[in-house]
């Protein structure tokens, strides 16, 4: 079973992703901010990370940079409500950039595609 | 009266009586040379004798001898007690009077009369000597000067430049003021270094001169009435005015009479232009008068223009007096023009300031609204994702309860709608924070690009596209991304207004120093009320609209120092016009660049 780390500060939204992705057949671990995400990755290396950007303590882009430093090959999907971060070249390091939507099909398709690689 | 003086007067009074008896030619000549009109009448005021000068002064055709004083002098004093002649006879003292009369030939004259009773040796008054002098010229001068003063007052109170100019020319041509037949006004344009024809007043033809103009000029006695009447009659499409508007001369061309008048700051009186070898034939043929006078308008030692006047219809020679009077008048006129001009400039500056301020307030407001909208949009988007996401999860659960299923479907649908609106706001509010990055671009290319992007959309909405793009449009400095955003907004609006399909026309053209882009649809059109509000943020007539598109479009266009206008007729369609300025000098530069076949690849 593939493990996915979902990093999201919104409690309810995190619950949604946890539920939805579990039903897709993934093992889900979660983090509520960038620092926690780095900690989780050290504990257990996931097969893929879904990363929010706007979060307290450490934002997603910074956390992504730190994680990629240690684990070059881990696929990361940025999942954010803002389209403006597309212009931030740091975000280009991610494997995908998805603008949040209540319709999770795009996210799920992307996960499937990246994990299969 | 003391005794000696009385004695002296008596002697003087007797003299004419003696003269009458033994006039010979020599004495006659002397009397005529006096320059005063003389007549002697009996106590019944019948004229016994008159000299030649009186003929001239009163403009008589027949001999006045044997006629009554009143008939000859055309006195206006109908009552005896005002008659100076009768008073002189009854009082025995000389009487001085002034009269105004219209001569047989219809000219107005001012006459000063001295009536002197003539006594017989026994002291009885038997006759009366009347001395008359023509004071018309002086009177006219005084009248004109007082008129000029009034004119000057009228002008000083007038701040609208065109009205001032018209007032000036009216005064130059008014019979009661300066009395020229036609007057033209030329103004100096320092920026272009030329002097050009601005305005002309007067009849354009003989026919008009004899008909209308005389009527206007003679009908109104009071200056204010005349000015008002001539303003009512003033038209810009007269041949005289139009010819004058075509006249322009370079200030370096000092051979031109107008230019030399400006350079010397002195009046120029041309008596015989057709035959004068030095006169410029072209100018003379435009003026079309043999005799004319040019007077400079001087303010603070600087000539700002020229008044050129002539008497082409009456053929009256222009007198030195008239030239002098015109010069005095021109000085006042110049001051009035300078005043009005300064006022106009001030007004323009105030207007500019107002507009800038308004735009600033608007863009500030838009920026605040934009930022707020973006913030709220994001804040709402996150919970929406959760709500919608869980609703979709529920929907996937197999259930037999159709009511729950339908209710959840509604949640999913409504969340979807909200998300679309938010996406719109976030996209449109984006450029608000960014200053345009201007590069030389081709508007036509941006439009072509936008249209091809939207081609599938046009097909889907059954919209026929007509492009009329002018090839004469230069590259202009704009932010192609932002301008494209404007085109996208407007084209999208246009298509959305044509719910049953229609025709979308996109035109480009040059208008003055602007590139003008028209986007016309055959859609619903708008009410006047809607038109007033469409540029206000969050105003919308569309069901799913956000009301940000047009506000942002206008912001972008104004950031480019352009403007955006809308014309609409309900149920017929709407035209949006965008004006983007071509900077001075840029046009020429770009033309040269293009001529060298140098492609800058604009219009990305």
Six token digits for residue B82:
């005002």
Query: Would you state the pLDDT for residue B147?
Result: 72
**Rounded to whole angstroms, how far apart are CA atoms B319 and B87?**
40
* Complex confidence, ipTM: 0.81
Quick check: B427 pLDDT over 80? Answer: no
Q: Taking residues B456-464, report their average pLDDT.
A: 87
CA A85 to each of CA A54, A62, A99: distance values in angstroms, whole numbers, following the listed order: 10, 12, 10
Contact A10 B412 (CB under 8 A): no
B145-159: average pLDDT: 73
pLDDT of residue A76: 92
Q: Does A90 touch chain B (CB under 8 A)?
A: no
Strands in B47-50's sheet, in edge-to-edge order, are B47-50, B37-42, B125-134, B108-119, B95-102
Task: Tell me which of B241 and B76 has the higher pLDDT.
Answer: B241
CA distance B391 to chain A (A): 9
| 3-state secondary structure string across A27-80 | EEEEECCHHHHHHHHHHCCCCEEEECCCCCCCCHHHHHHHHHHHCCCCCEEEEE
The residue ranking higher by pLDDT, B315 or B414, is B414
Residue from the list B378, B385, B430 with its beta carbon closest to the beta carbon of A101: B385
Highest mean pLDDT among B6-15, B434-443, B578-587: B434-443
The predicted-structure confidence for B381-399, as pLDDT tens digits, reads as follows 888 999 999 999 888 888 8
**pLDDT number for residue B100:** 77
CATH number for B436-595: choose from 3.40.50.920, 3.30.565.10, 1.10.287.610, 1.10.3720.10. Answer: 3.30.565.10
Q: Is a pLDDT exceeding 80 seen at residue B480?
A: yes
The fold of the B140-346 domain, in CATH, is Beta-Lactamase (3.30.450)
H helix runs in B94-190, sequence order: 136-156, 161-173
Which residue on chain A is closest to B380 by alpha carbon?
A: A81
Q: What Å distances lie between residue B493 and B512, B521, B522, B538, CA to CA?
A: 27, 9, 12, 15
Give the separation between CA A107 and CA A111, rounded to whole angstroms: 6
Q: How confident is the model at residue B72 (pLDDT cuts 50, 70, 90)?
A: confident
Q: Report CB contact under 8 Å: A13, B427.
A: no
Residue B562 structure tokens: 């352009």
Q: Do B388 and A102 touch (CB under 8 A)?
A: yes
Stronger pLDDT, B408 or B80, i.e. the higher one: B408
Sign of CA dihedral A79, A80, A84, A88: negative
Q: Check whether A31 has a pLDDT greater than 90.
A: yes
> Is B385 in Cβ contact with A16 (below 8 Å)?
yes
Integer Cα distance of B258 and B267 in angstroms: 10
Look at B378 and A82 and tell me if their CB atoms are within 8 Å.
Answer: yes
| Location of structure tokens 């106009």 | B344
- Indicate the SS3 state at residue B303: strand
B264-267: Cβ within 8 A, 24+ apart: B264/B296, B265/B296, B265/B298, B265/B301, B265/B303, B266/B296, B267/B293, B267/B294, B267/B295, B267/B296, B267/B323, B267/B326, B267/B327
Residues of B near A (Cβ–Cβ under 8 Å) read 378, 381-393, 412, 415-416, 419, 426-427, 430
Q: How confident is the model at residue B425 (pLDDT cuts 50, 70, 90)?
A: low
pLDDT score, position B413: 87
Task: Find the CB nearest B382 among A17, A20, A81.
Answer: A81
Work out the minimum CA distance from A43 to partner chain B, whole angstroms.
Answer: 28
First-last CA distance in chain A? 15
Domain edges within chain A: 3-116
Which residues lie closer than 8 Å to B592 by C-beta, 6 or more apart?
Answer: none
- pLDDT value at A50 more than 90: yes
Q: Where are the domains of chain B?
A: 3-134, 140-346, 436-595
Residues B102-113 pLDDT 10s = 776 666 778 888
Q: What is the mean pLDDT of residues B532-554?
A: 69
At residue B604 the predicted structure's pLDDT band, cuts being 50, 70 and 90, is very low
Of residues B190 and B431, the one with the higher pLDDT is B190
Of the candidates A16, A82, A83, the beta carbon closest to that of B386 is on A16
Residues of A in contact with B392 (CB under 8 A): 102-104
**pLDDT tens sequence across B316-332:** 888 887 888 888 888 88
Using alpha carbons, select from B573, B288, B581, B552 the residue that is nearest to residue B432.
B552
Closest approach of A9 to chain B, Cα-based (Å): 11
pLDDT of A17 over the 90 cut: yes
Residue B431: what pLDDT?
Answer: 46
Q: For chain B, give percent helix, strand, coil, nearest 5.
A: 50, 20, 30
Dist CA A21 CA A23 (whole Å): 5
Choose between B375 and A49: higher pLDDT: A49
Cβ contacts of residue B301 below 8 Å, gap of 6+?
Answer: B265
Domains B140-346 and B436-595 share a fold: no
What pLDDT digit, counting tens, does each position of B33-57 carry?
A: 777 888 888 888 888 888 888 888 8
CATH class of B3-134: alpha beta
Nearest beta carbon to residue B415 from set A15, A81, A102: A102
pLDDT of residue B540: 62
Contacts of B381 in chain A (CB under 8 A): 81, 100
Tell me which residue in B385, B391, B412 faces A13 most closely, judged by beta carbons. Answer: B385
Across residues B360-384, what is the average pLDDT? 77
pLDDT for res B275: 83
Q: What is the mean pLDDT of chain B?
A: 79
- Give the tens place of pLDDT for each residue, B247-295: 888 888 888 888 989 999 989 888 888 888 777 778 888 888 888 999 9
Taking an 8 Å cut-off on Cβ atoms, the answer to whether B426 and A83 are in contact is: yes
Identify the DSSP state of B46. B
Residue B593 has a pLDDT of: 44
CATH classification number, A3-116, choose in 3.40.50.2300, 3.40.50.720, 3.40.50.460, 3.40.50.1390: 3.40.50.2300
């Amino acid at each position: 079973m593939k493990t996915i780390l979902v990093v999201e500060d919104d409690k309810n939204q995190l619950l949604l992703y946890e539920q939805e992705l579990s039903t897709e057949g993934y093992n889900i671990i979660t983090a509520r901010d960038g620092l926690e995400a780095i900690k989780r990755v050290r504990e257990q290396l996931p097969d893929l990370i879904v990363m929010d950007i706007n979060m307290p303590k450490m934002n997603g882009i910074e956390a992504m940079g730190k994680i990629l430093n240690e684990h070059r090959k881990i696929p990361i999907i940025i999942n954010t409500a803002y389209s403006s971060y597309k212009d931030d070249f740091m975000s280009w390091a991610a494997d995908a950039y998805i603008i949040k939507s209540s319709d999770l099909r795009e996210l799920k398709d992307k996960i499937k595609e990246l994990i299969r690689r | 009266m003391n005794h000696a003086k009385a004695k002296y007067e008596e002697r003087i009074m007797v003299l004419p009586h003696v003269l009458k008896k033994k006039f010979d030619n020599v004495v006659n000549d002397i009397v005529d040379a006096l320059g005063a009109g003389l007549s002697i009448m009996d106590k019944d005021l019948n004229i016994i004798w008159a000299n030649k000068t009186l003929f001239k002064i009163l403009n008589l055709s027949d001999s006045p001898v044997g006629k009554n004083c009143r008939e000859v002098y055309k006195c206006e004093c109908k009552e005896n007690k005002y008659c100076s002649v009768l008073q002189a006879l009854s009082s025995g003292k000389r009487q001085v009077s002034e009269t105004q009369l219209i001569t047989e030939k219809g000219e107005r004259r001012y006459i000063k009369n001295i009536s002197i009773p003539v006594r017989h040796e026994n002291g009885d008054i038997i006759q009366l000597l009347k001395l008359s002098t023509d004071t018309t010229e002086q009177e006219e001068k005084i009248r004109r000067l007082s008129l000029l003063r009034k004119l000057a007052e009228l002008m000083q109170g007038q701040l609208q430049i065109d009205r001032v100019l018209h007032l000036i020319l009216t005064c130059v041509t008014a019979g009661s003021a300066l009395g020229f037949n036609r007057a033209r006004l030329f103004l100096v344009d320092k920026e272009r270094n030329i002097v050009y024809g601005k305005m002309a007043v007067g009849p354009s033809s003989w026919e008009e001169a004899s008909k209308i103009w005389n009527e206007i000029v003679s009908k109104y006695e009071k200056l204010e009435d005349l000015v008002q009447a001539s303003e009512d009659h003033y038209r810009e499409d007269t041949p005289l005015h139009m010819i004058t508007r075509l006249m322009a001369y370079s200030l370096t061309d000092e051979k031109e009479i107008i230019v030399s008048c400006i350079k010397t700051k002195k009046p120029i009186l041309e008596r015989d232009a057709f035959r004068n070898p030095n006169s410029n034939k072209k100018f003379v043929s435009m003026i079309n008068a043999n005799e004319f006078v040019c007077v400079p308008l001087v303010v603070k030692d600087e000539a700002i223009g020229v008044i050129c006047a002539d008497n082409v219809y009456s053929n009256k020679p222009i007198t030195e007096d008239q030239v002098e009077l015109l010069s005095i008048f021109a000085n006042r006129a110049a001051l009035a023009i300078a005043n009005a001009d300064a006022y106009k400039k001030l007004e323009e500056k105030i207007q500019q300031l107002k507009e800038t301020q308004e735009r600033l307030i608007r863009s500030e407001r838009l920026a605040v609204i934009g930022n707020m909208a973006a913030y709220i949009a994001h804040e709402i988007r996150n919970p929406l994702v959760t709500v919608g996401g869980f609703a979709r999860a529920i929907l996937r659960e197999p259930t037999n309860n159709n009511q729950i299923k339908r209710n959840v479907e509604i949640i999913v649908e409504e969340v979807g709608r909200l998300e679309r609106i938010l996406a719109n706001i976030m996209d449109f509010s984006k450029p608000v924070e960014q200053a345009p990055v201007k590069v030389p671009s081709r508007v036509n290319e941006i439009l072509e690009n936008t249209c091809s992007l939207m081609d599938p959309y046009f097909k889907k909405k059954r919209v026929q596209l007509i492009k009329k793009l002018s090839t004469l449009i230069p590259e202009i400095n704009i932010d192609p991304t932002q301008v494209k955003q404007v085109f996208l907004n407007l084209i999208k609006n246009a298509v959305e207004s044509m719910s049953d399909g229609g025709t979308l026309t996109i035109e480009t053209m040059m208008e003055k120093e602007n590139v003008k882009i028209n986007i016309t649809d055959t859609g619903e059109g708008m009410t006047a009320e809607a038109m007033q509000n469409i540029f206000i943020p969050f105003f919308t007539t569309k069901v799913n609209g956000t009301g940000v598109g047009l506000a942002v479009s206008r912001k972008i266009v104004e950031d480019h120092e352009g403007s955006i206008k809308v014309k609409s007729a309900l149920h017929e369609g709407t035209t949006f016009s965008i004006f983007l300025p071509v900077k001075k000098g840029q046009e020429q530069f770009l033309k040269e660049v293009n001529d060298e076949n140098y492609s800058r690849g604009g219009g990305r």
